[in-house]
Chain A
Amino acid sequence: METIDTRVDQIAEEIASWESAQQESLLQRLAELNYRRGLKSLSEKIQRRLEIEGKLHQSVEEMFAEMARIRESVAADDYRR
């Protein structure tokens, strides 16, 4: 029966026969897919947390106001010591 390790070996063997530019392209594509999946997962996690906190449906105005408040607070901490 084929195990994951055997399958990985087969795929690696095949990829090793590719041109280096093709290998590079595959690695970039893989990194991109992993990034997008990770981003989607993080985004869903944040939205679940906001839902629990009752903040998921904050108005745009409220969000901009919160962002402006945090911006000033961070800058004051860094530049008004």
Chain B
Amino acid sequence: MTIADDWIALDTNILIFGLHEDPHFPACAALLERMGELHVYIPRQIIRELQNHLLPDEASELFRLFNRHPERIRITWNLAAAELVENFRQSGCKLGDAAVAAHLAEEGVATLISENRHFLSEIPSLPFRVLTAAAALEELNKIRYGSR
């Protein structure tokens, strides 16, 4: 399982901090620049959150950019299965986090990149791992350039 080969998902916070070039999370902007080296799944929940954070023309522009890598960036509008969302919610997470987890579990996504260190930490056996943007970049660099 490597970040360069498997489908991953970027949490909304990665995309927002990256677009803002937030100085507290410089790895988010760096990771966003390298989207073309990854296989990124963007589910409905994340799309709709982005639409709330951005103006309509900003969101359209962002998705036009993502569409430059159609073989590497997969955007889907499907709802997650309600039963799966409910299962995650009953395991102790909030409805929104449960929706994200259900999308990833359904699609077999191996890794979620998020700056929320507490994301789903209450769930003992998540079907995917959670990495920060800095850890993801480090892993990507090791794959691309060796131990550098």
Contact = CB atoms under 8 A, between A and B. Distances in A.
A55 to B, nearest CB: 9
Nearest to B50: A70
A74 B45 contact: yes
Given A31-B36, A64-B116, A72-B94, A46 B52 contact: no
Q: How large is the interface on A (under 10, 10 to 19, 20 to 34, 35 or more residues)?
A: 20 to 34
Given A47-B21, A49-B55, A64-B13, A79 B62 contact: no
A7 interface: no
A79 B95 contact: yes
Interface in B86-108: 94-100
Interface stretch (B2-10, B27-35, B120-128, B137-145): B27-35
Q: How large is the interface on B (under 10, 10 to 19, 20 to 34, 35 or more residues)?
A: 35 or more
A77 B52 CA distance: 13
A75 B65 contact: no
B74 interface: no
A10 to B, nearest CB: 26
A3 interface: no
Contacts of A28: 36
Grouping DSSP codes into helix (H, G, I), strand (E, B) and loop, the A interface class, with mixed when no group exceeds half, is helix
A25 interface: no
B19 A42 contact: yes
B36 to A, nearest CB: 5
Contact of B49 (A49, A50, A64, A71): A71
A67 B16 CA distance: 9
B69 A35 contact: yes
A67 B21 contact: no
9 contacts: A42-B62, A46-B58, A60-B22, A60-B24, A63-B13, A64-B13, A64-B116, A67-B53, A79-B99
Interface of A: 28, 31-32, 34-36, 38-39, 42-43, 45-47, 49-50, 56, 60, 63-64, 66-68, 70-80
Given A67-B16, A75-B96, 7 more contacts: A35-B68, A36-B33, A43-B20, A67-B49, A72-B95, A75-B85, A75-B98
